[in-house]
């Protein structure tokens, strides 16, 4: 009996592989320190939990609700999108999904026909190419340069454009690099996409996690009718709510109607209690986010200081999300470390010998790098990075 041909095309989420191995070692009692986390290390704000406890008593929340989301949540999304991102939309421009990840998949399913190409600047968040393939499209990877802060430019996009190019994936701040585009850089790319009639899927999950005053405007600010722009956002990262699974799509009515059709068959509605949790998070403002941000920024500065003292490790001093993406390519060649020929080997070596877990760059399409999440305690961060420094010293 055969299963789908997709089986050969798609791979499981690579960020999970290293965390599984780290978990196994931990269970064996090893003192593992994880730099792999793709989620804040803070609890969800208490007021969210209390609002959900109350909502669980309300029997109307025990029933199906509208496919595109609860009205109270959509009203908050309209309000906060205007307040924080300068996007003016109505409730009819929103579909609430089971997390940003689900919102992205539904968006690709809504846009793509077989053979349609999607430009994905690399390094990229591991789900984008897989979600494109699941939706019948073809991912086109556009490599960017370490020396250019891994920012894609118009010429690189132009070189990969064909008559089948339909969508550009845009994410600022970026996972995995933490890089944030400037307004000028962003505008240049947006104009290129608008001129070429290419959709921009703008993933704004890390919108609030920016440091040193750097921010990127949303393409939706320049495309008021949402002719070319689809915004993906959610509560996972900004409010420490990864487990509640709430994200959303912002798009024009045609895309939203299509996304609703798909979602009506895939999931009906998102759990009412999770939607109320997201509503509570948005309604209560950014105080909790700003407290997390303060900790992230302190750790970011600390991690940058420590990495820059390590020999032959190069680093972009990223100002967004909670990731750094150090260049460890020196250690992946010429048998500098016996048996280490790429960043997967390097990460396995660090985990096996020093019990520190990073995600290898290959997971994000870029050998020679590792993703370092600084969503962990200050004490663990210091201990983990001093083990890293020791590992490098031990090589000689
Ligand atoms: C860039 C980016 N977009 C979207 C998501 C998905 O977030 P969610 O937990 O809401 O599905 C993630 C999660 O890691 C992410 O890093």
d(C-alpha 301, C-alpha 281), whole Å: 28
- Ligand 1: does its nearest atom lie under 6 Å from the Cβ of 203? yes
* Architecture of domain 63-284 in this structure: 3-Layer(aba) Sandwich (3.40)
| Per-residue pLDDT tens listing for the chain (396 residues) | 999 999 988 887 666 777 788 889 999 999 999 999 889 999 999 999 999 999 999 999 999 999 999 999 999 999 999 999 889 999 999 999 999 999 999 999 999 999 999 999 999 999 999 999 999 999 999 999 999 999 999 999 999 999 999 999 999 999 999 999 999 999 999 999 999 999 999 999 999 999 999 888 999 999 999 999 999 999 999 999 999 999 999 999 999 999 999 999 999 999 999 999 999 999 999 999 999 999 999 999 999 999 999 999 999 999 999 999 999 999 998 889 999 999 999 999 999 999 999 999 999 999 999 999 999 999 999 999 999 999 999 997
- Which candidate, 102, 95, 67, 96, places its Cα nearest to that of 277? 96
Q: How far is the CA of 200 from the centre of ligand 1 (A)?
A: 17
Boundaries of every domain in the chain: 6-43+288-395, 63-284
Domains 6-43+288-395 and 63-284 share a fold: no
Q: Is 80 in the pocket of ligand 1 (CB under 6 A)?
A: no
Would the CB of 100 count as within 6 Å of ligand 1?
yes
pTM, rounded to two decimals: 0.96
Q: Is 171 in the pocket of ligand 1 (CB under 6 A)?
A: yes
Task: Name the residue at shortest CA distance from atom 16 of ligand 1.
Answer: 175
Domain 6-43+288-395 belongs in CATH node 3.40.50.300: no
């Amino acid at each position: 009996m055969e299963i789908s041909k997709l089986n050969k095309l798609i791979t499981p989420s690579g960020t999970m592989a290293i965390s599984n191995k780290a978990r196994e070692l931990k269970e064996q009692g090893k003192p593992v320190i994880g730099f792999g986390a793709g989620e804040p290390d803070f609890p969800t704000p208490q007021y969210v939990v209390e609002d959900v406890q109350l909502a669980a008593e309300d029997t109307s929340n025990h029933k199906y609700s509208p496919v595109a989301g609860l009205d109270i949540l959509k009203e908050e999304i309209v309000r906060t999108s205007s307040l924080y991102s300068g996007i003016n939309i109505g409730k009819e421009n929103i579909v609430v999904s089971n997390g940003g990840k689900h919102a992205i998949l539904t968006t690709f399913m809504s846009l793509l026909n077989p053979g349609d190409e999607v430009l994905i600047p690399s390094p990229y968040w591991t789900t984008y190419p897989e979600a494109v393939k699941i939706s019948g499209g073809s991912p086109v990877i556009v490599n960017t340069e370490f020396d250019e802060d891994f920012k894609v430019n118009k010429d690189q996009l132009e070189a990969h454009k064909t008559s089948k190019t339909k969508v550009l994936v845009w994410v600022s701040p970026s996972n995995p690099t933490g890089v944030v585009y400037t307004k000028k850089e962003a505008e240049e790319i947006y104009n290129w996409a608008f001129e070429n009639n290419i959709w921009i899927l703008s993933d704004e999950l890390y919108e609030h996690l920016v440091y040193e005053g750097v921010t990127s405007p949303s393409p939706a600010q320049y495309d008021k009718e949402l002719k070319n722009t689809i915004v993906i956002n959610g509560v996972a990262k900004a409010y420490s709510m990864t487990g509640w699974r709430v994200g959303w799509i912002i798009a024009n009515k045609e895309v939203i109607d299509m996304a609703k059709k798909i979602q009506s068959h895939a999931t009906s509605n998102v759990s009412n209690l999770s939607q109320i949790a997201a509503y509570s998070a948005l309604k209560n403002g950014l105080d909790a986010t700003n407290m997390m941000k303060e900790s992230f920024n302190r750790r970011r500065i600390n991690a940058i200081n420590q990495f820059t003292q390590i020999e032959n490790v190069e680093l972009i001093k990223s100002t967004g999300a909670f990731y750094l993406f150090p260049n460890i390519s020196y250690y992946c060649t010429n048998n500098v470390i016996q048996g280490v020929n790429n960043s997967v080997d390097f990460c396995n070596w660090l985990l096996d010998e020093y019990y520190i877990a990073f995600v290898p760059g290959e997971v994000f399409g870029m050998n020679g790098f590792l993703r370092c999440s600084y969503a962990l305690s200050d004490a663990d961060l210091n201990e983990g990075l001093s083990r890293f420094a020791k590992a490098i010293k031990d090589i000689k």
